[in-house]
Structure formats: C-alpha cells, structure tokens
Amino acid sequence: MLKKTLNVNGIPRTILVNPKDSLSTVLRKQLMVLGVKVGCDSGQCGACNVIMDGKLIRSCITKMSRVPDGASITSIEGIGTPDNLHPIQLAWIAHGGAQCGFCTPGFIVSSKALLDSNPNPSREDIRDWFQKYKNACRCTGYKQIVDSVIDAGKVLRGEMTEEELAFKIPADGRIWGSSMPRPSSVAKVTGTWMFGADQGILMPEDTLQIAMVQAEVSHANILSIDTAEAEKMPGVHKILTHKDVKGKNRISGLITFPTNKGDGWDRPILCDEKIFQYGDAIALVCADTKKHADAAAAMVKVELEPLPEYMSAPAAMADDAIEIHPGTPNVYYTQKLAKGEDTAPIFEKADYVMEGDYYTSRQPHMPIEPDVGFAYMNEDGKLVIHSKSIGLYLHMYMIAPGIGVEPEDMIMVQNPTGGTFGYKFSPTMEAMIGVAALATGRPCYLEYTYKQQQQYTGKRSPFFTNVRLAADKQGKFLGLETDFSVDHGPYSEFGDLVTLRGAQFIGAGYNIPNMRGEGRTVCTNHCWGAAFRGYGAPEIEFPSEVLIDELAEKMDMDPLELRYKNVYRKGSTTPTGCEPDAHSLPDLIDLVRPRYEAAKKRAVANSTPEMKRGVGVAVGVYGCGLDGPDTAEIDVELNADDTITVFATWQDHGQGADSGVLGTAHEALRPMKITPDQIRLVMNDTSVCPNAGPAGGSRSQMVVGQAILNGCQALVAAAQKPDSTFRNYDEMKADGIDTKFHGKWSAPCTNCDENAQGDPLAGYMYGVFQTEVAVEVATGKTTVESILVAADVGCINNKLIVDGQIYGGVAQGVGFALSEDYEDIKKHSTLTGAGFPYIKQIPDNLEIMYIETPRERGPFGAAGTGELPLTAPHAAIINAINNACGARVRDLPALPEKILAAMPK
C-alpha cells in the first residue's frame, strides 16, 4: 500500500492506495469522484479524462504507482457545478453536446485542457486534439461538440457573453419547434447524472458483486459444471447455476408469427444442456468484492463436448448442418413478399435488368458505457431490477416466467443510460441479476467489462441479399425481386421481425408496382441478433440503393435523376402496398440537387491521380411504430402546487426522451398557460408509470406522444371552466373533479399478411443522403469529407434533439460503411478493434435541411427521427467511392483492401 496526498479539485485528500489500482478506481471508489466515468477501461474512449498537474490524462490506464505524491487533479467536478456552470458546460448545453451524457465529462475536461493550452483553437485544432486524446462519442456525430468548444472559447475570450450563448424561451412561451436544451443537460455536463455504475458504488454494504462464468467456445454440449473449488475461494457467498433458477430458465422470444417454427423459449438464462454462442453465461459467482468474484469464477470447471460451430447463415443452412436447437430447423422463419403482378414476365420483357449480391456486416453498437445493472427485493417483497433496458414492460414479460416470478411481483427501472442504439431492446443481464437477487436474498450488482459488452450483447444481424431490378428505357422501375438470408445468431427473439422488416423496406422510397421476394431467418452460433438503429432498413436498403446506382451507370443516367423519376408521389405505394403518409421525396431531392451539382464539379476539380474524389446519393425511408395497432399509455396529474407531472415509460437510449415528453406535454397544456418549468417528469419506473411500450422502431414521438396528447387534453378539458379560464388544484378538488388522467393511443394500423402486404406502421420518415469522399488510390483508404441530409420527419418537436439524432445516426453510417464489424470474436472485442470511428473519421462538414410535412397520425404533426439517419448513408458512401475511383464494393465494411481490390486495374 502507498500513502499519498492528492489535491483533488482544490481539496487535499490523504489516502492509502494500492499501487496497482488505476487512478480512475481510486477517484471513483475511494474518493467518490463519480464524475469520472469508466467506459472501455483501456484508454480507448476518454470518458475517464482528468487533468493531472496541468496535463490531460486517461485515468483508467494511469496506475497509482505513477501518480506523484501531491499531484493536483481536476475532474469535471472541479470545472463547474450545477449552480456555477463553466462556459464550456454552458456551451455544451446550448449546442446539445451531451446526448446520453456518458462521454460528456471526459470531453469537457479534455476541452478545458485544450483551451488552457490554446485559447483560440480552430475547428481542425479541436478535432486533432480529441483524436489525439481518444475522446470517443457514439451519440453526437461530434459536430455539436466542436461547436461547443468554439463558442466556449469565444465566451472565455470575451467575444460572446454567457447570456448570448444561453437558450431563451420564445416570447410566446412556446417551446415546440425550438432548440430548448433537454432537462437532463445540466446534470450531464456536470457529471452528476447518476449512471448505473455510479449508483452501484453507492449501494448498501451487503450488496453482492457478480462475476459471470462464460463459454469460450461457440457451440458445445455441457457435460458437467463443477463449482466445488470455486466455492472455497475467499469472499464467495454463493455460486449459481441453472439448478438455482426457480423458473423455466429461459428468456421468452415472444414469438407472435404463426409461421415461426420455433417456440421462442430457446435462450437460457444460465446454460444447462448446451452452449449456443461464445460468451454464454454458465454460472454466476456472487461475492463480497468484484475481485473475489472474478477469482472464484476462474476456478469453476466446465466440461464440454465440442459441436460444429456455424458462424454464418450459409454455414448453418448447409445440408450437413445439425440443428443448433434440436427439434427446430436452423431456418426457422420465412417471409414472403408479393406485391402487384408476377414479376417473371416483367423481367423477361424489361429494357434494363440489374442484379447484384450484397452483404451487410454484424455491426456492433459500441456504446461508451458498458452494460450494467442491479437487483434487490424491496420492502413489499417485490423484485426490483435496475438496468439500461429500453423496454421495461417488454423485458418484464420476457424474463418473468424464466426466473419464476409473476410480473405483478416485479418492478423494472431504467437507470440513466449511456447509450444503447437498440441493443437493450433485448434483455441482456436483467434475468441474471433477478435470479441472483432471488437466490441470495441480497442486493446483487453486475457490471460488464468492455470485452463482455462486445462479446455478450446482441449485434446487427448480417444480411446476405440478392436483388434484381427491372426498368424501362426511360428509367421507370417496373419490378423488383429479392432473396435474402438473415444471420440472427442462436436466439430467436425478434428474428422474425427483422426479416419482416427486410420485406417491408426493400426498395423503400420508390414506386415499384410489382415485387416478389423471400427472406429467411437463420439460426447460427455467432453473436445473437439484436435491434440496432434502423432495424432491417440499413441491411436491406443498402443493396437496393447500391443496385439503383449500378442501374443508373448501366443506363448512362445520373443516379440522382433516376431516383427522382421513381420516388414516391401521389398514387405511389410502399413495398407493403399502402399509401405513403407524405410525398416529400421529390421536394427533398429538389433541395439536394443544387448542392449535388456543385459537389460533382468540386470532385472533378479536386481529384488528382493520387487522390480521387466522388459524390454519392441514396434515399432512406423508415417506419414509426411497432406493427399493427401499436399502443401506449401514460398518466398526467395536476399537483397540489399547481405543477403537472407526466408519468411515462418513454425509455431513453440517450436520444432525448425527456425533451420528447416535455415538448409534447407542454404543447398540449398550453391552453392552461403552463410554463415548461411547471411540468415534472416521472419516467421509466414500472411501479409508477403505465406501459407506453418499448423505445424502438422510432415509435416514441408518434405513439407515446399521442398518448401524452390524449392524457393532457383530458386534463385541460376537466380543468376548463365555463368562462374558458382554468381551475387550479384546490378548485378541482373543491368541485370534486379528479386531478389525475390516463392517456392512451393505439395506431389505426393493420399487421402485414403472409406476403408482407398491409398498413403496418403509424408513420414514416423520409430522407435523401449526399456524401463526398476522397479515396487514396495507392491504399484504398477512404475519407468521408461531407454529408448532407435532407429529411422529412414531420413537424419537429425539438430541433436541437432532432439535429443531434441525425448527426449521430449518419456518423454511425460512416462506421457501418467503412470500418465497423463484429466478426472476429477476439479481435473485435475492443472499440478500436471493432473499427469505432473517432472524430477524424467523421466529417466536420455535416449539414441538415428539413421539410416539415405534418403527419396525420402524429402529435402536432410529428413523426419519429432516430432511425432515419442510419437507413442509407452507408449506401451513399459506397456509391461515392465508386464515383471516385470505379471501385464497386458490395459487402460491408468497405475496408481499404476491399476498395483497392475492386479498383479497375
């Protein structure tokens, strides 16, 4: 042990430390400096940044043996507090620099070090700095962060006042359509937003720390599990196996499609008979400390019988492949697509036919915050589970039978969450921590390492897709045919849904009167498939958008004009045969066209023999809602102090659920002259909030928003007096009028039939993407130099939030196009190994243009936003690469070696 004095945020602290512990561990766990966040724990994300003796360091990789005695350390707490914000923090609030907020303290500390050393940095200086110090953000697209540093510098130099920087509520009091900062922004920029790991440190002394015993093979029979030696290890309270699970020991996949050949009960909580994928949980060690739990986990002996490992859909579909789940075929769901006339004669007579085979990769979500959760029994004997769940009621029903608890005896709570981007649409640790709390009777805490985050959470399901497109001499699309296979990993949850999405969005955005196709969901032994932003659309719109470019090239037609000729207009129908809810795509293309023509000229002018430049375009469309009569419920209550509380499970990936609820409720309550600060939000706790459904499918703003509108309208109507003024709380009570109202809304939609025909979704979002790239001819290395998005997401609730969603979505599209993958289980288990795009990989030149077409089914005309920006930017990048250097890459990611190989020789 070492005795050291550290001056932490101006306060001398003398402590005993283990010299092998990291500075981040000492700051967080000994000194309770919880603004220091730990993401990757390997120096790759910068969430743990602090300034030590004037220098920016990553505290997670700084051992205490290297920290000088008397060192001066500044964390986010030493830069500003909620009631005394630093200009950097004010700028982050004003520009929406904090979305989920997990990386924010590290970025702000990094910015402070930058501005201390360079008071007037350029945008490129800022980007170079964040690249050097490995500050990673998965939410924002980085543009808002650079904007924040620029304006913070102006305030510090006296060129701008704090008042000029701050948001001001418009004179009419209306915040709908404004750029009002999210309610959580102050907590996020000061490091006081309590994420799961922060709450874990503050849990009671008797809390048990969990370590998982995990499979290190992808497919095997379990012969024996021996915990005898492990149980003798120091600090071990209990080691749990499948024998300790009171329920069915399975997570329900909630199979709803009658043609699904599986029963949905295929995912073990703790493996009993088989290993289905690398990382599967076999046992849980519950101990007094994490170190003791990890040491004991290493002593658990598992005897296995290896089985063939099918690591891709084609392998699992082979004739000699055994059934991964005995009794259920590896191809367990098939989805037909049949719209219009039979396509065979159309293709025989068509003037032009283009066909291609395409592959989209197993994209990892890569939030900066690893998965974390805890569970306990409350004073009423109910099991309470805290996690990053973005489907609280959904997960309750998925895990309750497996752990042996009735749903009414469970409470699910979402902690403040450091990004999910969809992976938490699946339960990950919820069932395990629930089992542990039930079996031990004590609070139980589980925090994944980043390796576990990569290896034991779901990923985007790879698609293997063949597409054929027929057109006449003028370029009018006549028919489309497709055949695709979905590698959904070993667990069936939502596997049929993603395959249905493939049928619903192939060729989306275009009036293609005749379509035929078939998709299938395939069980494999690679990582299980989970929801990821755009679920199904980025996988299926990539092949159709690239194929359209190839057809344009064959026809010697401009690819933007070919799209313009065929996009939805009045009388068009979607791939599911219903009318689009807006016809703005021609107008969006008209917005883009002048920029596109200028970009083409710029590409020609700036290309050299060594560096080729090109321009690419793509159309993206996605739906808002879950299929059919998607339903949400909320409560709204007038309080004794005449404030109003909205109770909602509008779960937050970091996308701005708090702003969504506030903006929608305030607009609905404006007749009562309620100000935004009079609206309280109680969110994402099933003990007090009704079931508004999961935060997925870009449904929240439309479906939950309509329920909020419904509930608020009921309150407004009840409070209104005959003279059109409004009762306060005391007057409501005096008149015997209830002060709490229930809001509910169901989408007037129908499920698709067996041929994927119907009106399945509450609404749609439409976008046009334009990208400019530079390709280094000698290496194939590609740089995206600009992205332009023209979007119609209906009437905008909060522009700051919508902008942030689009910037962040297209940034993930850059990674999907060029670098991101989770194929090699070991190599891709880190951020850098999996191709995470840092700031210099994302262009600073990001621009958004909007058309706001009011949606009939949306509250105040709103649609969703979050998934549109990842529908097709990757296709536009791939098209731009071909435009630059003639390299047509059809399988993602387009690594330099693939581009180099595809270049004309």
> Whole-angstrom Cα distance, residue 296 to residue 227?
9
Coil/strand/helix, residue 130: helix
Q: Which two tokens stand for residue 408?
A: 């009414």
Q: Minimal CA–CA distance to 103: which of 127, 79, 130?
A: 130
C-alpha count within 13 angstroms, C-beta hemisphere, residue 5:
4
867 counts as catalytic? yes
Coil/strand/helix, residue 700: helix
CB atoms within 10 A of CB 656: 32
Q: Minimal CA–CA distance to 797: which of 744, 750, 859, 875?
A: 859
> Whole-angstrom Cα distance, residue 760 to residue 746?
12
Coil/strand/helix, residue 49: strand
> Whole-angstrom Cα distance, residue 879 to residue 543?
11
Q: Minimal CA–CA distance to 77: which of 57, 41, 105?
A: 105
> Whole-angstrom Cα distance, residue 365 to residue 462?
13
- Please say whether the beta carbons of 1 and 17 come within 8 A: yes
Report how far apart the first and last C-alpha atoms of the chain are (Å, whole number). Answer: 63
Q: What secondary structure letter does DSSP report for 806?
A: H
Coil/strand/helix, residue 647: strand
Coil/strand/helix, residue 291: helix
List C-alpha distances in Å: 77 to 39, 133, 416: 18, 20, 19
Of 430, 481, 820, 867, the active-site residue reads 867
> Whole-angstrom Cα distance, residue 608 to residue 885?
11
- Please say whether the beta carbons of 267 and 338 come within 8 A: no
- Beta strand 208-214 pairing with 444-447: parallel
Handedness of CA 154, 158, 160, 163 (dihedral sign): positive
- Please say whether the beta carbons of 316 and 524 come within 8 A: yes
- Please say whether the beta carbons of 486 and 359 come within 8 A: no
Residues labelled as active-site residues: 867
